Amino acid sequence: MAENLERLKQRMPLLEYLQRHNWKPCRAGTRQEFVGLCPLHQDTRPSFYVNAAKNLFYCHGCGRGGDLIRFVQLFFDLTFQQTVTLLQQELSPAPLSRLLEEAAAFYQFQLHRRPEAIRYLERRGLHDPALIEEMGIGYAPGGNLRRHLAALGYSFDLLLDSGLISRQGRDAFCHRVIFPCRQVGQILNLYGRSIGAAFPHRLLPRSKGGLFAWESVSVFSTVILVEGLFDLAVLWQAGFRNTTCAIGTQLTLAQLSQLAEQPSRSVYIAFDQDDNQAGQKGSHQLAHRLRGIGIRAHIVQLPHGHDPNSYFVTGATAADFTDCLERAQQL
């Protein structure tokens, strides 16, 4: 029992759980400490402290504190046993994670049978078959996922709950290139990039998890952070294996605390240099947040209008990108 509880808590860090329930810290105390309004009492001044390293909270307002289980118990007003059951249901969706594995494998198989998908990858500068395989990149042609998964015994309700199909039974990722987002080996989400006119980005309606491929990137003391998975893919292809991605410019607290795990870490932010300045603004905001938690942040300037992906697609080499890294401005 005690062992099960420990595993439960390891699988869902307290901070990530709070964020899933829309807790927003106002400021960070020390590197691993986050402060915000207390979800457990009517709080007007932030008095709820979360220590991400110890996985504990304490509120100076109502005096309550403890671990994830204690928080859930207080938050939902449950008995201890009810809390454990709730967390187990929420955190061990075994059929769901198997389902995501099946879906990803199906998409991966489809990729090589769909010339339009391969052409799209080539257009985005991705041509190394070993890397495409390693990242588990797939393609959703649309129209046949539901039949395939139903044949494997998955219920319509589970498919619907997962967000893989719509109420009408249509493939939610239709005509998208798929990247599985894994954490500690398990697929937490799928990212789908439209190859047609549909809105470019899509994730399943669940946590996007931590930073992309953090298990392999976290060993580096210098990390490159990009906005999108196609940026990451071309950088990996060019040998920059210290690249990670938050899928967007807004990092969750869990992702920030991953960067902060190593105090001496340097982060090179290489977001899009777009016309509306969103990427530039995002870079500066993030750089300031990182500096606030003690991390050296550098902003990488790419030629105007480029993101790392388009930069490589238009012929830049690893040496060109290294030049950009060397010229990056430290904040």
Q: Tell me which residues touch Zn ion (CB under 5 A).
A: 38, 40-41, 59, 61-62
The CB density around residue 317, as the number of other CB atoms within 10 Å, is 11
Structure tokens of 308?
Answer: 């790392």
Cβ distance to Zn ion smaller for residue 71 or 268: 71
Cβ distance to Zn ion smaller for residue 59 or 68: 59
Helix, strand, coil % in the chain, rounded to nearest 5: 40, 20, 40
d(CA 317, CA 295): 28
Cβ distance to Zn ion smaller for residue 59 or 99: 59
Q: Closest distance between Zn ion and the C-beta of residue 4, in Å?
A: 28
Q: Are 68 and 12 in contact (CB under 8 A)?
A: yes
Q: Closest distance between Zn ion and the C-beta of residue 28, in Å?
A: 19
d(CA 265, CA 214): 14
The CB density around residue 115, as the number of other CB atoms within 10 Å, is 8
Structure tokens of 267?
Answer: 């982060």
Q: Closest distance between Zn ion and the C-beta of residue 50, in Å?
A: 12
Cβ distance to Zn ion smaller for residue 58 or 220: 58
The CB density around residue 208, as the number of other CB atoms within 10 Å, is 20
Q: Closest distance between Zn ion and the C-beta of residue 59, in Å?
A: 3
Cβ distance to Zn ion smaller for residue 59 or 223: 59
Q: Closest distance between Zn ion and the C-beta of residue 13, in Å?
A: 20
The angle at the Cα of 173, spanning 216 to 158, to the nearest 5 degrees, equals 90
Q: Closest distance between Zn ion and the C-beta of residue 35, in Å?
A: 12
Q: What is the DSSP letter of 22?
A: T
Cβ distance to Zn ion smaller for residue 61 or 66: 61
